[in-house]
Structure 1
Protein backbone atom coordinates (compact mmCIF):
# COMPACT_ATOMS: atom_id res chain seq x y z
CA UNK A 1 0.00 0.00 0.00
CA UNK A 2 1.35 3.42 -0.97
CA UNK A 3 1.85 5.74 1.97
CA UNK A 4 3.03 9.33 1.78
CA UNK A 5 3.98 11.60 4.60
CA UNK A 6 2.77 15.18 4.87
CA UNK A 7 6.29 16.41 4.07
CA UNK A 8 6.41 14.40 0.84
CA UNK A 9 2.95 15.64 -0.16
CA UNK A 10 3.97 19.25 0.55
CA UNK A 11 7.14 18.87 -1.51
CA UNK A 12 5.16 17.32 -4.38
CA UNK A 13 2.65 20.16 -4.34
CA UNK A 14 5.40 22.77 -3.99
CA UNK A 15 7.38 21.38 -6.94
CA UNK A 16 4.39 22.24 -9.14
CA UNK A 17 2.86 25.22 -7.37
CA UNK A 18 5.88 27.50 -6.99
CA UNK A 19 7.10 27.13 -10.61
CA UNK A 20 3.52 27.79 -11.67
CA UNK A 21 3.52 31.05 -9.66
CA UNK A 22 6.71 32.30 -11.32
CA UNK A 23 5.53 31.42 -14.83
CA UNK A 24 2.08 32.88 -14.18
CA UNK A 25 3.66 36.10 -12.88
CA UNK A 26 5.50 36.41 -16.19
CA UNK A 27 2.41 35.63 -18.25
CA UNK A 28 0.46 38.38 -16.48
CA UNK A 29 2.52 41.16 -18.07
CA UNK A 30 4.30 39.49 -20.97
CA UNK A 31 3.51 41.05 -24.37
CA UNK A 32 0.72 39.32 -26.27
CA UNK A 33 -0.03 36.84 -23.47
CA UNK A 34 -0.57 39.61 -20.94
CA UNK A 35 -3.22 41.39 -23.02
CA UNK A 36 -6.77 41.32 -21.79
CA UNK A 37 -8.11 39.64 -24.92
CA UNK A 38 -6.21 36.45 -23.95
CA UNK A 39 -8.56 34.62 -21.54
CA UNK A 40 -7.24 34.12 -18.04
CA UNK A 41 -8.02 30.41 -18.19
CA UNK A 42 -5.79 30.06 -21.24
CA UNK A 43 -2.88 31.69 -19.40
CA UNK A 44 -3.45 29.55 -16.31
CA UNK A 45 -3.64 26.34 -18.33
CA UNK A 46 -0.51 27.22 -20.33
CA UNK A 47 1.46 28.12 -17.19
CA UNK A 48 0.29 24.97 -15.43
CA UNK A 49 1.24 22.80 -18.41
CA UNK A 50 4.76 24.28 -18.58
CA UNK A 51 5.19 23.90 -14.81
CA UNK A 52 4.09 20.25 -14.96
CA UNK A 53 6.49 19.48 -17.82
CA UNK A 54 9.51 21.04 -16.16
CA UNK A 55 8.76 19.94 -12.56
CA UNK A 56 10.82 16.69 -12.79
CA UNK A 57 13.86 18.63 -14.04
CA UNK A 58 13.85 21.33 -11.35
CA UNK A 59 16.41 21.54 -8.55
CA UNK A 60 15.15 20.44 -5.11
CA UNK A 61 12.55 22.88 -3.80
CA UNK A 62 12.54 24.12 -0.18
CA UNK A 63 10.79 21.77 2.22
CA UNK A 64 8.06 24.16 3.37
CA UNK A 65 4.56 23.19 4.39
CA UNK A 66 2.30 23.95 1.44
CA UNK A 67 -0.40 25.47 3.66
CA UNK A 68 1.87 27.55 5.88
CA UNK A 69 2.47 31.31 5.91
CA UNK A 70 6.01 30.78 4.61
CA UNK A 71 4.61 28.99 1.57
CA UNK A 72 2.36 31.98 0.88
CA UNK A 73 5.27 34.44 1.00
CA UNK A 74 7.34 32.15 -1.22
CA UNK A 75 4.52 32.03 -3.79
CA UNK A 76 4.28 35.84 -3.77
CA UNK A 77 8.04 36.01 -4.22
CA UNK A 78 7.86 33.77 -7.28
CA UNK A 79 5.07 35.91 -8.72
CA UNK A 80 7.24 39.02 -8.35
CA UNK A 81 10.27 37.35 -9.93
CA UNK A 82 8.21 36.31 -12.95
CA UNK A 83 6.69 39.79 -13.13
CA UNK A 84 10.12 41.45 -13.15
CA UNK A 85 11.42 39.08 -15.82
CA UNK A 86 8.50 39.88 -18.12
CA UNK A 87 8.84 43.61 -17.43
CA UNK A 88 11.92 43.70 -19.66
CA UNK A 89 9.75 42.62 -22.60
CA UNK A 90 6.98 45.05 -21.69
CA UNK A 91 9.45 47.94 -21.80
CA UNK A 92 10.68 46.65 -25.16
CA UNK A 93 7.19 46.83 -26.66
CA UNK A 94 6.57 50.26 -25.13
CA UNK A 95 9.60 51.56 -27.05
CA UNK A 96 7.43 51.51 -30.18
CA UNK A 97 4.52 53.10 -28.33
CA UNK A 98 6.68 56.01 -27.19
CA UNK A 99 8.16 56.29 -30.69
CA UNK A 100 4.63 56.72 -32.03
CA UNK A 101 3.87 59.35 -29.39
CA UNK A 102 6.97 61.36 -30.31
CA UNK A 103 6.28 61.21 -34.04
CA UNK A 104 2.59 62.01 -33.56
CA UNK A 105 3.39 65.16 -31.59
CA UNK A 106 5.87 66.32 -34.22
CA UNK A 107 3.54 65.80 -37.17
CA UNK A 108 0.35 67.10 -35.54
CA UNK A 109 -1.46 63.78 -35.09
CA UNK A 110 -1.40 63.77 -31.30
CA UNK A 111 -5.12 64.52 -31.25
CA UNK A 112 -5.95 61.46 -33.39
CA UNK A 113 -6.26 58.91 -30.59
CA UNK A 114 -8.01 55.59 -30.23
CA UNK A 115 -8.93 53.37 -27.33
CA UNK A 116 -6.86 50.24 -26.86
CA UNK A 117 -9.18 47.65 -25.28
CA UNK A 118 -6.31 45.16 -24.86
CA UNK A 119 -4.36 47.37 -22.45
CA UNK A 120 -7.07 49.76 -21.30
CA UNK A 121 -5.19 52.78 -22.65
CA UNK A 122 -5.84 55.65 -25.04
CA UNK A 123 -2.93 56.21 -27.41
CA UNK A 124 -2.43 58.01 -30.72
CA UNK A 125 -3.26 55.94 -33.76
CA UNK A 126 0.36 55.96 -34.90
CA UNK A 127 1.45 54.57 -31.51
CA UNK A 128 -1.03 51.72 -31.75
CA UNK A 129 0.09 50.92 -35.27
CA UNK A 130 3.80 50.95 -34.38
CA UNK A 131 3.12 48.84 -31.29
CA UNK A 132 1.52 46.16 -33.46
CA UNK A 133 4.44 46.47 -35.87
CA UNK A 134 6.95 45.99 -33.05
CA UNK A 135 5.05 43.00 -31.65
CA UNK A 136 5.07 41.32 -35.07
CA UNK A 137 8.83 41.91 -35.39
CA UNK A 138 9.34 40.42 -31.92
CA UNK A 139 7.32 37.34 -32.84
CA UNK A 140 9.04 37.00 -36.22
CA UNK A 141 12.40 36.90 -34.41
CA UNK A 142 11.08 34.09 -32.14
CA UNK A 143 11.60 36.42 -29.21
CA UNK A 144 8.67 34.84 -27.34
CA UNK A 145 10.36 31.43 -27.52
CA UNK A 146 13.68 32.84 -26.30
CA UNK A 147 11.87 34.62 -23.45
CA UNK A 148 10.11 31.39 -22.46
CA UNK A 149 13.45 29.59 -22.50
CA UNK A 150 14.91 32.26 -20.19
CA UNK A 151 11.99 31.83 -17.78
CA UNK A 152 12.59 28.08 -17.71
CA UNK A 153 16.34 28.61 -17.20
CA UNK A 154 15.61 30.97 -14.33
CA UNK A 155 14.75 28.00 -12.13
CA UNK A 156 18.30 26.71 -12.65
CA UNK A 157 20.06 30.07 -12.47
CA UNK A 158 17.92 31.46 -9.64
CA UNK A 159 16.39 28.47 -7.81
CA UNK A 160 13.24 28.72 -5.76
CA UNK A 161 14.05 30.04 -2.30
CA UNK A 162 17.02 32.23 -3.27
CA UNK A 163 15.09 35.35 -2.33
CA UNK A 164 14.24 38.47 -4.27
CA UNK A 165 16.33 41.13 -2.55
CA UNK A 166 19.57 39.77 -4.01
CA UNK A 167 18.38 40.35 -7.57
CA UNK A 168 19.84 43.41 -9.40
CA UNK A 169 16.65 45.43 -9.04
CA UNK A 170 18.48 48.69 -9.77
CA UNK A 171 19.37 47.26 -13.17
CA UNK A 172 15.67 46.79 -13.85
CA UNK A 173 14.90 50.34 -12.74
CA UNK A 174 17.61 51.67 -15.06
CA UNK A 175 15.75 50.08 -17.97
CA UNK A 176 13.22 52.91 -17.64
CA UNK A 177 15.91 55.26 -18.90
CA UNK A 178 16.74 52.75 -21.61
CA UNK A 179 13.11 52.97 -22.75
CA UNK A 180 13.35 56.74 -23.34
CA UNK A 181 16.80 56.45 -24.92
CA UNK A 182 15.80 53.70 -27.36
CA UNK A 183 12.57 55.40 -28.45
CA UNK A 184 14.28 58.74 -28.98
CA UNK A 185 17.08 57.05 -30.94
CA UNK A 186 14.51 55.63 -33.36
CA UNK A 187 12.67 58.97 -33.57
CA UNK A 188 15.70 61.23 -34.19
CA UNK A 189 15.50 61.14 -38.05
CA UNK A 190 11.81 62.04 -38.06
CA UNK A 191 12.27 64.70 -35.37
CA UNK A 192 15.08 66.38 -37.30
CA UNK A 193 13.09 66.28 -40.54
CA UNK A 194 10.06 67.85 -38.88
CA UNK A 195 12.29 70.44 -37.23
CA UNK A 196 13.58 71.50 -40.64
CA UNK A 197 9.99 71.82 -41.87
CA UNK A 198 9.03 74.01 -38.92
CA UNK A 199 12.14 76.18 -39.40
CA UNK A 200 11.24 76.58 -43.08
CA UNK A 201 7.71 77.75 -42.27
CA UNK A 202 9.12 80.08 -39.61
CA UNK A 203 11.33 81.72 -42.24
CA UNK A 204 8.34 81.96 -44.62
CA UNK A 205 6.22 83.64 -41.96
CA UNK A 206 8.91 86.30 -41.55
CA UNK A 207 9.51 86.72 -45.29
CA UNK A 208 5.84 86.86 -46.25
CA UNK A 209 3.72 87.98 -43.27
CA UNK A 210 0.58 88.03 -45.40
CA UNK A 211 0.89 84.30 -46.10
CA UNK A 212 -1.49 82.22 -43.99
CA UNK A 213 1.01 79.86 -42.42
CA UNK A 214 -1.57 78.04 -40.30
CA UNK A 215 -3.69 76.90 -43.24
CA UNK A 216 -0.62 75.93 -45.26
CA UNK A 217 1.69 74.67 -42.53
CA UNK A 218 -0.51 71.99 -40.98
CA UNK A 219 -1.17 70.03 -44.22
CA UNK A 220 2.48 70.27 -45.22
CA UNK A 221 3.65 69.20 -41.76
CA UNK A 222 1.27 66.26 -41.79
CA UNK A 223 2.36 65.26 -45.31
CA UNK A 224 6.03 65.47 -44.34
CA UNK A 225 5.32 63.45 -41.22
CA UNK A 226 3.69 60.68 -43.24
CA UNK A 227 6.69 60.64 -45.57
CA UNK A 228 8.99 60.32 -42.55
CA UNK A 229 6.91 57.41 -41.24
CA UNK A 230 7.13 55.72 -44.65
CA UNK A 231 10.90 56.17 -44.82
CA UNK A 232 11.34 55.03 -41.21
CA UNK A 233 9.69 51.68 -41.88
CA UNK A 234 12.74 50.54 -43.86
CA UNK A 235 15.16 51.20 -41.00
CA UNK A 236 13.09 50.35 -37.92
CA UNK A 237 13.19 46.50 -38.21
CA UNK A 238 17.00 46.24 -38.14
CA UNK A 239 17.30 48.70 -35.26
CA UNK A 240 14.44 47.11 -33.35
CA UNK A 241 15.96 43.65 -33.71
CA UNK A 242 19.06 44.98 -31.93
CA UNK A 243 16.81 46.32 -29.17
CA UNK A 244 15.11 42.92 -28.88
CA UNK A 245 18.49 41.26 -28.45
CA UNK A 246 19.48 43.85 -25.86
CA UNK A 247 16.25 43.34 -23.87
CA UNK A 248 16.53 39.54 -23.92
CA UNK A 249 20.19 39.74 -22.88
CA UNK A 250 19.31 42.03 -19.96
CA UNK A 251 16.49 39.66 -19.01
CA UNK A 252 18.93 36.74 -18.97
CA UNK A 253 21.57 38.62 -16.99
CA UNK A 254 18.96 39.73 -14.43
CA UNK A 255 18.72 36.18 -13.07
CA UNK A 256 22.48 35.60 -13.05
CA UNK A 257 22.97 34.36 -16.60
CA UNK A 258 26.27 35.01 -18.37
CA UNK A 259 26.23 35.85 -22.07
Structure 2
Protein backbone atom coordinates (compact mmCIF):
# COMPACT_ATOMS: atom_id res chain seq x y z
CA UNK A 1 0.00 0.00 0.00
CA UNK A 2 1.31 3.41 -0.98
CA UNK A 3 1.86 5.74 1.96
CA UNK A 4 2.86 9.38 1.71
CA UNK A 5 3.92 11.67 4.49
CA UNK A 6 2.79 15.27 4.90
CA UNK A 7 6.26 16.49 3.90
CA UNK A 8 6.18 14.48 0.66
CA UNK A 9 2.72 15.76 -0.20
CA UNK A 10 3.79 19.36 0.52
CA UNK A 11 6.89 18.93 -1.65
CA UNK A 12 4.83 17.49 -4.50
CA UNK A 13 2.30 20.34 -4.34
CA UNK A 14 5.05 22.96 -4.14
CA UNK A 15 6.65 21.58 -7.31
CA UNK A 16 3.71 22.94 -9.30
CA UNK A 17 2.24 25.58 -7.01
CA UNK A 18 5.15 28.04 -6.72
CA UNK A 19 5.81 28.16 -10.50
CA UNK A 20 2.08 28.50 -11.08
CA UNK A 21 1.92 31.54 -8.75
CA UNK A 22 4.75 33.34 -10.56
CA UNK A 23 3.41 32.55 -14.04
CA UNK A 24 -0.13 33.51 -13.09
CA UNK A 25 1.11 36.78 -11.63
CA UNK A 26 2.68 37.56 -15.01
CA UNK A 27 -0.44 36.56 -16.93
CA UNK A 28 -2.51 39.02 -14.91
CA UNK A 29 -0.91 42.05 -16.62
CA UNK A 30 0.97 40.65 -19.63
CA UNK A 31 -0.09 42.20 -22.95
CA UNK A 32 -2.75 40.23 -24.83
CA UNK A 33 -2.93 37.49 -22.18
CA UNK A 34 -3.74 40.01 -19.46
CA UNK A 35 -6.66 41.46 -21.41
CA UNK A 36 -10.15 40.89 -20.09
CA UNK A 37 -11.07 39.50 -23.51
CA UNK A 38 -9.03 36.39 -22.63
CA UNK A 39 -11.10 34.28 -20.19
CA UNK A 40 -9.61 33.70 -16.74
CA UNK A 41 -10.01 29.95 -17.16
CA UNK A 42 -7.81 30.03 -20.28
CA UNK A 43 -5.08 31.88 -18.38
CA UNK A 44 -5.27 29.48 -15.46
CA UNK A 45 -5.08 26.39 -17.70
CA UNK A 46 -2.17 27.87 -19.66
CA UNK A 47 -0.29 28.68 -16.43
CA UNK A 48 -0.91 25.15 -15.11
CA UNK A 49 0.30 23.62 -18.39
CA UNK A 50 3.52 25.64 -18.38
CA UNK A 51 4.11 24.82 -14.70
CA UNK A 52 3.76 21.10 -15.36
CA UNK A 53 6.09 21.25 -18.38
CA UNK A 54 8.90 23.12 -16.65
CA UNK A 55 8.63 21.35 -13.27
CA UNK A 56 11.32 18.68 -14.06
CA UNK A 57 13.98 21.29 -14.95
CA UNK A 58 13.44 23.68 -12.04
CA UNK A 59 16.00 24.05 -9.22
CA UNK A 60 15.14 22.70 -5.76
CA UNK A 61 12.51 24.60 -3.80
CA UNK A 62 12.74 25.63 -0.14
CA UNK A 63 11.12 23.15 2.21
CA UNK A 64 8.00 24.95 3.38
CA UNK A 65 4.86 23.46 4.88
CA UNK A 66 2.06 23.87 2.31
CA UNK A 67 -0.49 24.97 4.92
CA UNK A 68 1.74 27.33 6.88
CA UNK A 69 1.79 31.11 6.96
CA UNK A 70 5.25 31.06 5.36
CA UNK A 71 3.79 29.27 2.35
CA UNK A 72 1.18 32.02 1.99
CA UNK A 73 3.85 34.72 2.03
CA UNK A 74 5.94 32.75 -0.46
CA UNK A 75 2.97 32.46 -2.83
CA UNK A 76 2.30 36.21 -2.61
CA UNK A 77 5.99 36.82 -3.24
CA UNK A 78 5.90 34.75 -6.43
CA UNK A 79 2.80 36.61 -7.61
CA UNK A 80 4.63 39.91 -7.13
CA UNK A 81 7.73 38.70 -9.00
CA UNK A 82 5.64 37.60 -11.97
CA UNK A 83 3.62 40.81 -11.85
CA UNK A 84 6.74 42.99 -11.91
CA UNK A 85 8.27 41.01 -14.77
CA UNK A 86 5.17 41.44 -16.91
CA UNK A 87 4.93 45.11 -15.97
CA UNK A 88 7.90 45.84 -18.26
CA UNK A 89 5.85 44.61 -21.22
CA UNK A 90 2.71 46.46 -20.16
CA UNK A 91 4.66 49.72 -20.01
CA UNK A 92 6.11 48.99 -23.45
CA UNK A 93 2.67 48.38 -24.98
CA UNK A 94 1.19 51.56 -23.52
CA UNK A 95 3.91 53.60 -25.22
CA UNK A 96 1.78 53.33 -28.35
CA UNK A 97 -1.33 54.47 -26.50
CA UNK A 98 0.52 57.57 -25.29
CA UNK A 99 1.77 58.25 -28.83
CA UNK A 100 -1.82 58.24 -30.08
CA UNK A 101 -2.89 60.54 -27.23
CA UNK A 102 -0.15 63.06 -28.12
CA UNK A 103 -1.17 63.07 -31.77
CA UNK A 104 -4.85 63.38 -30.88
CA UNK A 105 -4.22 66.50 -28.81
CA UNK A 106 -2.36 68.13 -31.70
CA UNK A 107 -5.07 67.20 -34.20
CA UNK A 108 -7.99 68.38 -32.08
CA UNK A 109 -9.28 64.84 -31.52
CA UNK A 110 -8.65 64.78 -27.79
CA UNK A 111 -12.40 64.97 -27.21
CA UNK A 112 -13.00 61.82 -29.30
CA UNK A 113 -12.72 59.24 -26.50
CA UNK A 114 -13.76 55.61 -26.64
CA UNK A 115 -14.46 53.45 -23.62
CA UNK A 116 -11.96 50.61 -23.25
CA UNK A 117 -13.54 47.73 -21.30
CA UNK A 118 -10.39 45.60 -21.70
CA UNK A 119 -8.24 48.01 -19.70
CA UNK A 120 -10.96 49.53 -17.56
CA UNK A 121 -10.73 53.11 -18.76
CA UNK A 122 -11.14 55.53 -21.63
CA UNK A 123 -8.62 56.28 -24.35
CA UNK A 124 -8.58 58.58 -27.37
CA UNK A 125 -9.65 56.88 -30.58
CA UNK A 126 -6.20 57.32 -32.09
CA UNK A 127 -4.55 56.00 -28.93
CA UNK A 128 -6.71 52.88 -29.04
CA UNK A 129 -5.77 52.37 -32.67
CA UNK A 130 -2.05 52.69 -31.92
CA UNK A 131 -2.44 50.35 -28.94
CA UNK A 132 -3.93 47.64 -31.13
CA UNK A 133 -1.22 48.22 -33.73
CA UNK A 134 1.51 47.92 -31.09
CA UNK A 135 0.00 44.71 -29.73
CA UNK A 136 -0.10 43.16 -33.19
CA UNK A 137 3.51 44.21 -33.83
CA UNK A 138 4.57 42.67 -30.51
CA UNK A 139 2.89 39.38 -31.44
CA UNK A 140 4.31 39.46 -34.98
CA UNK A 141 7.83 39.85 -33.57
CA UNK A 142 7.24 36.77 -31.35
CA UNK A 143 7.73 38.98 -28.33
CA UNK A 144 5.24 36.91 -26.32
CA UNK A 145 7.36 33.80 -26.88
CA UNK A 146 10.53 35.61 -25.80
CA UNK A 147 8.69 36.90 -22.72
CA UNK A 148 7.59 33.36 -21.81
CA UNK A 149 11.20 32.21 -22.24
CA UNK A 150 12.40 34.94 -19.86
CA UNK A 151 9.67 33.96 -17.41
CA UNK A 152 10.88 30.36 -17.44
CA UNK A 153 14.51 31.48 -17.07
CA UNK A 154 13.52 33.53 -14.05
CA UNK A 155 13.22 30.33 -11.99
CA UNK A 156 16.90 29.68 -12.68
CA UNK A 157 18.17 33.26 -12.41
CA UNK A 158 15.95 34.23 -9.46
CA UNK A 159 15.03 30.97 -7.70
CA UNK A 160 11.96 30.62 -5.56
CA UNK A 161 12.75 31.73 -2.04
CA UNK A 162 14.76 34.85 -2.90
CA UNK A 163 13.11 38.01 -1.60
CA UNK A 164 11.25 40.57 -3.68
CA UNK A 165 13.07 43.49 -2.08
CA UNK A 166 16.40 42.13 -3.32
CA UNK A 167 15.30 42.82 -6.90
CA UNK A 168 16.49 46.07 -8.56
CA UNK A 169 13.20 47.88 -7.98
CA UNK A 170 14.64 51.25 -9.03
CA UNK A 171 15.10 49.86 -12.52
CA UNK A 172 11.38 49.14 -12.68
CA UNK A 173 10.50 52.58 -11.35
CA UNK A 174 12.80 54.13 -13.95
CA UNK A 175 10.66 52.62 -16.71
CA UNK A 176 7.95 55.15 -15.83
CA UNK A 177 10.13 57.92 -17.20
CA UNK A 178 11.11 55.67 -20.10
CA UNK A 179 7.51 55.42 -21.30
CA UNK A 180 7.27 59.21 -21.68
CA UNK A 181 10.65 59.48 -23.41
CA UNK A 182 9.89 56.63 -25.83
CA UNK A 183 6.40 57.86 -26.69
CA UNK A 184 7.65 61.42 -27.24
CA UNK A 185 10.42 60.12 -29.50
CA UNK A 186 7.87 58.28 -31.67
CA UNK A 187 5.38 61.15 -31.76
CA UNK A 188 7.93 63.97 -32.23
CA UNK A 189 7.82 64.18 -36.07
CA UNK A 190 4.02 64.36 -36.14
CA UNK A 191 3.92 66.82 -33.23
CA UNK A 192 6.41 69.15 -34.93
CA UNK A 193 4.50 68.95 -38.22
CA UNK A 194 1.22 69.80 -36.50
CA UNK A 195 2.92 72.61 -34.60
CA UNK A 196 4.01 74.16 -37.89
CA UNK A 197 0.45 73.90 -39.18
CA UNK A 198 -0.91 75.66 -36.09
CA UNK A 199 1.75 78.36 -36.33
CA UNK A 200 0.85 78.89 -40.00
CA UNK A 201 -2.82 79.39 -39.17
CA UNK A 202 -1.82 81.75 -36.35
CA UNK A 203 0.15 83.90 -38.78
CA UNK A 204 -2.73 83.70 -41.27
CA UNK A 205 -5.20 84.94 -38.68
CA UNK A 206 -3.00 87.99 -38.03
CA UNK A 207 -2.47 88.69 -41.73
CA UNK A 208 -6.12 88.29 -42.70
CA UNK A 209 -8.37 88.91 -39.65
CA UNK A 210 -11.51 88.66 -41.75
CA UNK A 211 -10.74 85.01 -42.55
CA UNK A 212 -12.65 82.54 -40.39
CA UNK A 213 -9.70 80.58 -39.03
CA UNK A 214 -11.85 78.29 -36.90
CA UNK A 215 -13.93 77.12 -39.87
CA UNK A 216 -10.82 76.53 -41.96
CA UNK A 217 -8.22 75.60 -39.36
CA UNK A 218 -9.99 72.72 -37.63
CA UNK A 219 -10.61 70.57 -40.75
CA UNK A 220 -7.17 71.40 -42.15
CA UNK A 221 -5.51 70.47 -38.84
CA UNK A 222 -7.36 67.17 -38.80
CA UNK A 223 -6.48 66.48 -42.44
CA UNK A 224 -2.80 67.27 -41.89
CA UNK A 225 -2.86 65.18 -38.71
CA UNK A 226 -4.20 62.17 -40.56
CA UNK A 227 -1.47 62.62 -43.18
CA UNK A 228 1.14 62.74 -40.41
CA UNK A 229 -0.28 59.55 -38.91
CA UNK A 230 -0.17 57.90 -42.33
CA UNK A 231 3.46 58.84 -42.91
CA UNK A 232 4.48 57.95 -39.37
CA UNK A 233 3.53 54.33 -39.99
CA UNK A 234 6.35 53.99 -42.53
CA UNK A 235 9.11 54.03 -39.93
CA UNK A 236 7.12 52.99 -36.88
CA UNK A 237 7.68 49.18 -37.03
CA UNK A 238 11.49 49.45 -36.99
CA UNK A 239 11.46 51.99 -34.16
CA UNK A 240 8.97 50.00 -32.16
CA UNK A 241 10.94 46.79 -32.61
CA UNK A 242 13.90 48.54 -30.95
CA UNK A 243 11.63 49.50 -28.04
CA UNK A 244 10.43 45.89 -27.75
CA UNK A 245 14.03 44.67 -27.64
CA UNK A 246 14.87 47.28 -25.00
CA UNK A 247 11.89 46.28 -22.85
CA UNK A 248 12.69 42.56 -23.09
CA UNK A 249 16.34 43.23 -22.25
CA UNK A 250 15.31 45.28 -19.21
CA UNK A 251 12.98 42.47 -18.17
CA UNK A 252 15.84 39.97 -18.45
CA UNK A 253 18.27 42.18 -16.53
CA UNK A 254 15.68 42.72 -13.78
CA UNK A 255 16.08 39.09 -12.64
CA UNK A 256 19.87 39.13 -12.87
CA UNK A 257 20.31 38.05 -16.47
CA UNK A 258 23.14 39.29 -18.66
CA UNK A 259 21.97 40.44 -22.13
Q: How far, CA to CA, are the matches of 1:234 and 1:134 in structure 2?
A: 14
Q: Which residue of 2 aligns with 1:147?
A: 147
1:212-237 CA distance string (max 9 Å, x none): 11111001100000000000010110
Residue 3 of structure 1: how far off its partner (Å): 2.4
Q: How far, CA to CA, are the matches of 2:226 and 2:39 in structure 1?
A: 36
The two structures have a TM-score, normalised by structure 1, of: 0.99
Q: What does residue range 21-100 of structure 1 map to in structure 2 within 5 Å?
A: 21-100=21-100
Q: How far, CA to CA, are the matches of 2:71 and 2:129 in structure 1?
A: 43
Q: How far, CA to CA, are the matches of 2:216 and 2:36 in structure 1?
A: 42
Q: What does residue range 55-204 of structure 1 map to in structure 2 within 5 Å?
A: 55-204=55-204
Q: How far, CA to CA, are the matches of 1:256 and 1:122 in structure 2?
A: 36
Aligned residues: CA RMSD: 0.6
Point out where structure 2 has 5 or more consecutive residues left out of the alignment.
none
Q: How far, CA to CA, are the matches of 2:59 and 2:31 in structure 1?
A: 28
Structure 1 SS opposite 2:166: coil
Residue 118 of structure 1: how far off its partner (Å): 1.2
Structure 1 SS opposite 2:123: strand
Residue 41 of structure 1: how far off its partner (Å): 0.6
Residue 12, structure 1, aligned to residue 12, structure 2: yes
1:173-194 CA distance string (max 9 Å, x none): 0000000000000000001001
1:201-257 CA distance string (max 9 Å, x none): 111111111111111100110000000000001011000000000000000000000
Number of aligned residues: 259
Residue 2 of structure 1: how far off its partner (Å): 2.6
Q: How far, CA to CA, are the matches of 1:227 and 1:181 in structure 2?
A: 23
Structure 2 SS opposite 1:29: coil
Structure 1 SS opposite 2:136: helix
Point out where structure 1 has 5 or more consecutive residues left out of the alignment.
none
Structure 1 SS opposite 2:127: helix
Q: How far, CA to CA, are the matches of 1:15 and 1:170 in structure 2?
A: 31
Structure 1 SS opposite 2:132: helix
Superposition misfits of 4+ residues, deviation over 3 angstroms: none
Q: How far, CA to CA, are the matches of 1:6 and 1:75 in structure 2?
A: 19
Residue 4 of structure 1: how far off its partner (Å): 2.1
Q: Which residue of 2 aligns with 1:217?
A: 217
Residue 107 of structure 1: how far off its partner (Å): 0.5
Q: How far, CA to CA, are the matches of 2:249 and 2:8 in structure 1?
A: 37
Structure 2 SS opposite 1:247: helix
The two structures have a TM-score, normalised by structure 2, of: 0.99
Q: How far, CA to CA, are the matches of 1:15 and 1:77 in structure 2?
A: 16
Structure 2 SS opposite 1:165: helix
Structure 2 SS opposite 1:115: strand
